Structure 1
Amino acid sequence: MARIEREWSTKMQNKNKTSKEADPSVIMEMNTAFWISRTLQVANELEIFTKLSGKCLALEDAAKAIEIPPRPAEMLLNACVALGLLEKENGCYKNSNLSEKYLVKDKPEYFGYMIAHGVQLSEYWSKLGEVVKNNKPIEHSAPFEDEETARMFTLAMHSGSTPTAKALVDFIPLPHTPIKLLDVGGGSGVISIKLAEKYPNISAVVFDTPNVCKVAQEFINQSPASNRIKTYAGDYTKELPKGFDVVILSNILHGKGVQNCISLLKKVYESLNQSGLVIILDFLLDDDKCGPVFPTLFALNMLIATPEGGTYSGAEIKQWLEDIGFNNIKKEPLIGNTSMVLGVKGKNDRNKNLF
C-alpha cells in the first residue's frame, strides 16, 4: 500500500509538471486499486502461499494444491506474480521471499490475520457514503465483545504491530536501571515482549480487556522474558495503575475524540513517575492534515468504525502533552506509516537524551 501511495504521488507530481493536459490514468488506477487488495485477500483465503511454501509447482499441480480449476488458478497465480507475491520459473510457481516470510501460516511473522481483517474492513468501507452523509459509524460488533472476536482482532493487530515493535526496540535506547513499563491497550503484548527481551532490567504490564489479555498471555508464555511481563485486565479509559517509568500508547489515540485523547493522556501523566517517558505510536498527519496518504485515509476508517475517532498531527499531540505538563517533546518517524511522539513528565531532563 505504501509503495502504491508513493507511486500515485510521484505520478501526479510528474504529470502536473510535464503535461499540459490532465491525464486520467492515475484516477483509473485509484478506481481499480481494490483489485489488488482483493487478489491478495483471496490468495490468502485459499492459503496459496502456505500450500506453495518450499515448493515450485506447475499450473496443474498448483491448481490441485489450492483446490480450484486450472483456468482461474492461472489467472490468480499470474496476478500474484505481477504483484511480487509469487515467482514463475520455467512454468512453475513458487513464493517470493516476501510471501515466504509473511504469508505462510505458522511462521513467526505471519501477516495473514491482518489480511483477513482487511476483508471485514472492505465490507465496512462499502458503506462510506452512508457514513459521511450521516456522520455516524456503521453498526458492528465491538472487537472485544466475545472471546473469539477479540482473539481474531488481536491476532490481526499482532501482525501489524510486530514490525513496529522491532523498529521501536532498535530506535530507542532505554537506560539500564530498573524500568517499570505500562503498555496501554497493549493487545498481544508484542511491544512489551520485544522490549523486555532486549532489556533484562524491564518489567512490563500489558493493560487491555480481559479477552485480549488471554491472547497476550499466550504470546508472553512463548517469550524468554515471560517472568517479567504480566497482563492487567481493565478499562484504561477509567483508570491506569501508577508508578511506571515508561508508558506506551500504540495505535490508541486514533480510536478516540480529542477530549478523550486528552483525558487519557492526563491519566498517563498520573501513571508515570517523575521524569517518566510516554511513547505514543500512531499514524500521524502532517500539520496541514492533507497527508501523508495513509493517515488521511485511516481517518476515514475511524469515521466508519468509531463515534469520535480520527487521526491527528504531531503538532496537535505535542500541544496536548505540553498543556498537561510533559516536556522535551519530540516527533520522530519510526517505520512505514507509523510515527511516534515522545515526552517526559515534569521538568527533570533525565530522559531527554533518549531521543
Structure 2
Amino acid sequence: MLENLKIESPNELLELAIGYQKSQVLFSFVELEIPKTLHAKNQTAKQLAQTLSIDALAMERFLNACVIVGLLERENAIYKNTALAEYFLVKGNEFYLGGQIERYKNRSYPLWENLTEKLKSWKYGESNSETPEDEDQGADSMAEQHNLALLHGYALAKALDFSTYKRVLDLGGGTGAMSIGLSESNKNLKATVFDLPENVEKASEFITKSELQNRIETVGGDLTKDDLPDDFDVALMANLVSVFDEETNKNLLAKIYKKLPENGACIISGWILDEDRLSPEVSVLFCLEDISWNSPDVEKDFSVYKSWLEDAGFKRIEYKTYLEPTRLICAFK
C-alpha cells in the first residue's frame, strides 16, 4: 500500500502561511532605517551590526531575509539596496514610502488578526460608529500616505491630458498630494481640495511647503452633506468611493455631473477590481481591508462604476491602468 502513496511537497502552502513573516521583515527594515544607511555606503553584516547595536549573527540572518524578499542584494558579503529599496525606502527621498509602510504595520496589520470575526460581523451598507474614522481617514493617516498619493498625482498627469482644463476639484483630497502632483505637472492648472476641516488643515501645510498656495485652495466641509464648490471642470475621486455606500456615491456623482460644464470630466482613481474580480492582487486583498475597517462597501469592478456614472448622465467613459495596480475611470459630460 505504501508504494502507491503519493507524496506532495507542502512548500507552496508553507510559503503562503509565512507571508506575515515577510511583512515583518519589511517593517523592521524600514524601522531600522537600513536603506538610508546603505544609501550612504554599502556594508557587511558585521559593519551594520556594529552600527545598529545588533548581534552580528542575527544581523546576517536578517539581511539574508531582506535579500530573499527583494529588498537587498548581496555580493561578496557586501549588502546594498535593491532599486526598489533605493527609490522608495531611503528616508528623505521625494517618494519615500516609509510612512505608508508604518501605516501598514501600525494600523492595517493588527486588523487582520481577527479577519474571521470581521467577515462574520460585516454587513453591506453598515458602518460601525465605534470604529473611529480618523484611524483610517483622518489627518494623521493621510499624512502617512502623502508620498504615495503624490506619486499617483504625477502618474495621473502623465496618463491623461489636462491641457484643456482649468481647475480640478479634488474630492476627499486628504493632504492635497494628488492636486500637488497634477498642478506641478500642468502649470496652467489650478485645484481645490475639498475634505473634512481637520484634513484640509493638514493639506494647507503640504501645499504651502510645495509653494503652490496661489494655485491650490482648500475648502473644509462634508462632501456627503454640503454643496460642492463651484468653478471646476474636472472632479477627482481618488481612493474615495469604497468609503461610502452605493447610494451616497450615486448622489455624489449626480452632484458632480450637475456642476460640471459641458465636456467636463469626472475621474475615479483607486484599486479598482478587474472584471473577473480576481485581480489586481492588491485590490482583491484590499476588499478584506475594507471589511476589516468595517467600511460600508468594498472595492468594485469597472462595470459597476460605469453603471453608476451612466446613471448620473455621463456618456463617454474610459478605463485604464496608470500606475500598477491603480486603475482610473475617466467619464466625460
Q: Which amino acid aligns with 2:294?
A: T
* Cα distance between partner residues in 1 of 2:202 and 2:101: 19
| 1:252-331 correspondence runs (5 A) | 252-331=240-319
8 Å CA contact retained: 1:117, 1:156:
yes
Determine helix, strand or coil for the equivalent of 2:214: helix
Q: Which residue of 1 aligns with 2:13?
A: 27
Letter in 2 for 1:296: V
Task: Report matched runs for 1:228-267 at 5 Å.
Answer: 228-239=215-226, 240-267=228-255
Q: Is the 8 A contact 1:205 1:232 kept in 2?
A: yes
Distance 1:67 1:255, change over 3 A: farther
For 2:122 and 2:277, how far apart are their aligned partners in 1?
19
- Determine the structure 2 residue equivalent to 1:171: 159
- What does residue 183 of structure 1 align with? 170
CA distance in 2, matches of 1:282, 1:21: 43
Matched-pair contact (CA < 8 Å) for 1:157–1:187: no
Q: Which moved more, 1:261-270 or 1:121-130?
A: 261-270
Which deviates more from structure 2 when the two are superposed, residues 286-295 or residues 225-234? 286-295
Answer yes or no: is the 8 Å Cα contact 2:139–2:174 preserved in 1: no
Following the alignment from structure 1 to structure 2, what is the Cα–Cα distance between the partners of residues 43 and 158?
20
Q: Deviations over 1:144-184 (max 9, x none)?
A: 69xxx9443112222322332222111111234x6121000
After superposition, the C-alpha distances for 1:297-324 in whole angstroms (9 at most, x for unaligned) are: 1111101103412011101111111111
In structure 1, the partner of 2:38 is 52
The answer as to whether partners of 2:150 and 2:180 remain within 8 angstroms in 1 is: no
Provide the secondary structure at the position in 2 that maps to 1:226.
Answer: coil
Using the TM superposition, give the Cα deviation of residue 87 of structure 1 relative to its aligned residue in structure 2, in angstroms. 2.4
Deviation at 1:236, TM superposition (A): 1.2
Q: Among residues 122, 131, 136, which one is paired with 1:135 in the alignment?
A: 122
- In structure 2, distance between residues paired with 1:106 and 1:249: 28
- Relative to structure 2, which stretch is displaced further, 119-128 or 76-85? 76-85
Matched ranges for 1:93-242 at <5 A? 93-119=79-105, 120-135=107-122, 140-143=131-134, 150-176=138-164, 179-239=166-226, 240-242=228-230
Given that residues 277 and 342 in structure 1 are in contact (C-alpha distance below 8 angstroms), is that contact kept between their aligned partners in structure 2? yes
After the TM superposition, which residues 5-16 of structure 1 pair with which residues of structure 2 at under 5 Å, given as runs? none
Alpha-carbon distance in structure 2 between the residues aligned to 1:150 and 1:308: 17
Per-residue deviation, 1:128: 0.7
Partners of 2:154 and 2:185 within 8 A in 1: no
Decide whether the 8 Å contact of 1:209 with 1:235 is kept in 2. Answer: yes
Question: Which has the higher mean CA deviation after the structures are superposed, 296-305 or 128-137?
Answer: 128-137
Matched, 1:68 2:54: yes
Number of equivalences: 322
SS at match of 2:264: strand
Give the match's secondary structure for 1:53: helix
Structure 1 residues 275 and 123: alpha-carbon distance in aligned structure 2, compared to 1, 3 A threshold: same
Following superposition, the deviation at residue 291 of structure 1 comes to 3.2
Residue 169 to residue 304, structure 1, CA distance change in 2 (3 Å): same
Q: Measure the CA separation in 1 of the matches of 2:143 and 2:315.
A: 35
TM-score, normalised with respect to structure 1 = 0.84
SS in 2 for 1:127: helix
Instruction: Specify whether residues 93 and 232 from structure 1 end up closer, same or farther in structure 2 by C-alpha distance, changes over 3 A only.
Output: same
Identity of aligned residues (%): 33
One-letter identity of the residue aligned with 1:42:
S
Q: What is the TM-score normalised by the length of structure 2? A: 0.89
Q: Distance in 1 between the 2:255 and 2:54 partners?
A: 54
* C-alpha distance 144-180 of structure 1, shift in aligned 2 (>3 A): farther
| Alpha-carbon distance in 2 for matches of 1:72, 1:140 | 39
CA RMSD of aligned residues (A): 2.3
Query: CA separation in 2, counterparts of 1:293 and 1:32?
Result: 17
Which ranges in structure 1 are unaligned for 5 or more consecutive residues? 1-19, 346-355
Q: Is the 8 A contact 2:277 2:284 kept in 1?
A: yes
The whole-number CA distance in structure 1 between the counterparts of 2:272 and 2:23 is 23
Partner Cα distance (1:320, 1:228) in 2: 31
Deviation at 1:271, TM superposition (A): 3.1
Q: Is the 8 A contact 1:181 1:204 kept in 2?
A: yes
The CA deviation at 1:215 is 2.4
Give the counterpart letter for 2:88 in structure 1: Y
